[in-house]
Amino acid sequence: MQFHLNLQIATVLCFLPVALVLAIIYRKRKEQRAMSRAPFKDLVRRPAGETLRLKLEGMEEKLTELTMGLVLFPLLMALGLFALHPKDLLTPIVFFLFSTISSVFYGIRLYKLVRSRANYQLGYDGERFVGEELSRLIVLGFEIYHDVPFNGFNIDHVLVGKRGVFIVETKTRRKPVDETGEKKFRVGFDGKYLQWPCGADNYGIEQAKNNAKTLSSWLGSAAGENVWTTPILTLPGWMVDRKVPSDGLFVLNPKEIYGVCSAQPEKLTDPQITRICYQLDQKCRIEVT
């Protein structure tokens, strides 16, 4: 009995250095935050994919928690068996069942989280890719805003220049691979639906149009500018076969956005652009900690 008790104490003591190290790291980090501040208070413009980046950060923390749960609970069961050293068969079976239930519980949640994280990562990479392509428009005098927040959603990209105001909705979709291993990379647009290799849908089309209406309405109230906002739906990595002329909505590969925007006639004056950008600067400002 005394041997088993000493073994349990020794097992607990083995975990104490880990707890001590984590406590020291937490305390040092807290002291650092209390004694220093970032050299600037905020960012005037949000980076591309900021909302998705924050979601990915939260997922990373949850991923760590689930991984620890998946590993530690069976480990504790094993240590418990080692410490108890049971003589009967029932106790190991009970411990095994608890370990199995725990592994299934954490495993299912971990699998779902990993799949969800992969989709968010794809969307985040797509928005960053589009953001880099949009930077080419700076030479045309466009002001570029990313991840513009609204109530319950965000607009991926907003372009403001003499050629008008554009919203860019990014939808990143994986390419299917056929039996020969060749990737399918073409999508058709008939004015209402996107014709993908695996079927048709209107994914992103209505969202782009609604976002354009929302921005136009907001600019009317915030900046006092009744400006039509042109919606662009962009599909990174896909070549778009447009079967009908554009009717207020452009569906483009990101590399085509520069040509479409540069071909538009000038619509806005410098004072209008200044008022619009001022409101967007205020809306896109984020605090730096």
18 pLDDT exceeds 60?
A: yes
Beta bridge partners of residue 282, listed in sequence order: none
Q: What is the Cα–Cα distance from 217 to 225, expressed in whole angstroms?
A: 9
In a domain, 103, yes or no: no
286 pLDDT exceeds 80?
A: no
In a domain, 64, yes or no: no
Is pTM beyond 0.85 here? no
In a domain, 141, yes or no: yes
More confident residue, 72 or 172: 172
Q: What is the Cα–Cα distance from 239 to 127, expressed in whole angstroms?
A: 17
- How many CB atoms lie under 10 A from the CB of residue 251? 25
What phi and psi values does residue 161 have, to the nearest 5 degrees? -160, 180
Range of the domain at 262: 131-284
Which tens digit of pLDDT belongs to each residue from 96-122? Answer: 888 889 889 989 999 999 999 999 999
- The percent of residues in the chain predicted with pLDDT above 70, rounded, is 86
Q: What is the Cα–Cα distance from 135 to 287, expressed in whole angstroms?
A: 23
Structural contact between residues 47 and 61, judged by C-beta atoms closer than 8 angstroms: no
Would you state the pLDDT for residue 203?
A: 81
More confident residue, 141 or 179: 141
Q: Give 181's pLDDT tier (boundaries 50, 70, 90).
A: low
* DSSP assignment letter at 182: P
In a domain, 201, yes or no: yes
Q: Which of 117, 204, 206, 208 is nearest to 155 (CA)?
A: 208
- Could you give the angle at the alpha carbon of 51 between the alpha carbons of 200 and 184, nearest 5°? 30
In a domain, 273, yes or no: yes
Q: What is the Cα–Cα distance from 165 to 272, expressed in whole angstroms?
A: 11
Pairing between β-strand 186-189 and β-strand 239-242 as defined by DSSP bridges: parallel
Would you state the pLDDT for residue 146?
A: 94
Q: Give 39's pLDDT tier (boundaries 50, 70, 90).
A: low
Q: What is the Cα–Cα distance from 17 to 36, expressed in whole angstroms?
A: 29
274 pLDDT exceeds 60?
A: yes
Buried-state track 100-112, b at ≥16 Cβ within 10 A, e below 16: eebbeebeeebee
In a domain, 184, yes or no: yes
Beta bridge partners of residue 195, listed in sequence order: 188, 200
In a domain, 25, yes or no: no
Number of domains in the chain: 1
Q: Which of 12-21, 115-124, 180-189 has the highest mean pLDDT?
A: 115-124
222 pLDDT exceeds 80?
A: yes
More confident residue, 175 or 118: 118
Would you state the pLDDT for residue 209?
A: 93
Rounded average pLDDT over 18-38: 71
Would you state the pLDDT for residue 42?
A: 56
Q: What is the Cα–Cα distance from 173 to 196, expressed in whole angstroms?
A: 10
In a domain, 110, yes or no: no
Q: Give 199's pLDDT tier (boundaries 50, 70, 90).
A: confident
